[in-house]
Structure 1
Amino acid sequence: MTRLEAGALQPRKERVDIGEVIASALCRAARLLSDHETEMVIEPDLPMLLLDDVLLEQALFNILDNAGKYTPVGTKIVVTASVAADTLLIRVTDEGDGFAAHDPETAFSKFKRFKSADRSRPGTGLGLAISRGFIEALGGKIVSRNRQDCSGAELVMTFPLDEKNTK
């Protein structure tokens, strides 16, 4: 966390297949998400981006772990990847309670943990803060919000599809 805050993290960027990174994060999180239905929806022909696959996978793993902690057993967690305009979008959606009265952006605060009716596994409250740091170090952005189509949270990562990311 200290290296992230100091801007000292130097990603090792190489061409990355986003679908493979998402599949790997879901595989790593499988045990933690065993009581949930998971789905991966990857738009065909996504461009390869210059990213650090290790940092991106860890960011996704942290987000998936968080979704598993704060959503009821049996609910669905979906990871999608698509392109809109000149941006790669990676979305993680769940069917939990969403952010209730909390500002969704507080989810990225260090040591922030929400009460979850005893569903939650122990944690430090750093996972989403670290995810944001990794994504920003890769030149992306992440936002959190409540879903519009049903109950639940949505975390959306965006990465520009410009020359420096797609060469």
Structure 2
Amino acid sequence: MTLKSKLHEDLITAMKARDELASSTLRLTLTAITKEEVSGKTSRELSDDEVQKVIAKEAKKRREAAEAFAQGGRTESAEREKAEGAFLDAYLPQQLSDDELTTIVGQAVEEAKAAGAEGPRAMDAVMKIVNPKVVGRAEGGRVAVVVKKLLAG
């Protein structure tokens, strides 16, 4: 069963259960997936990895919107966005803890320094080593913060 078909099944289940949060979140996510499939010159079926990237992007949008609503004093809307983001997180791989991420980045920093990377170029070298190891399990911004911290320290 593909991830997209699981999302469709979960949408049907949510609609039958009259779960408004789940059904609206799944509808928006499936729409984003379809939009991605038809973008470009030819339409195509997305792989599970590509579907996961779309879900991750949608979850990130929800977190950013929740933050913006919270800053604007709209706590009800912020709570709704947080709930949608948490719902989508269930379809994503388990995120790395801060300790796990720091360990992976620490090893990459040592690897990059051993290869002779220093200064600003070290950041690029470390990111190139780290990104394939953490893809889908840590956001790029979070990784960059840890890399900067370890390169500075």
More strand by share: 1
Same fold (TM over 0.5): no
Structure 2-normalised TM-score?
0.25
Structure 1-normalised TM-score?
0.24
Higher relative contact order (CA 8 A, sep 6+): 1
Larger Rg: 2
More helix by share: 2
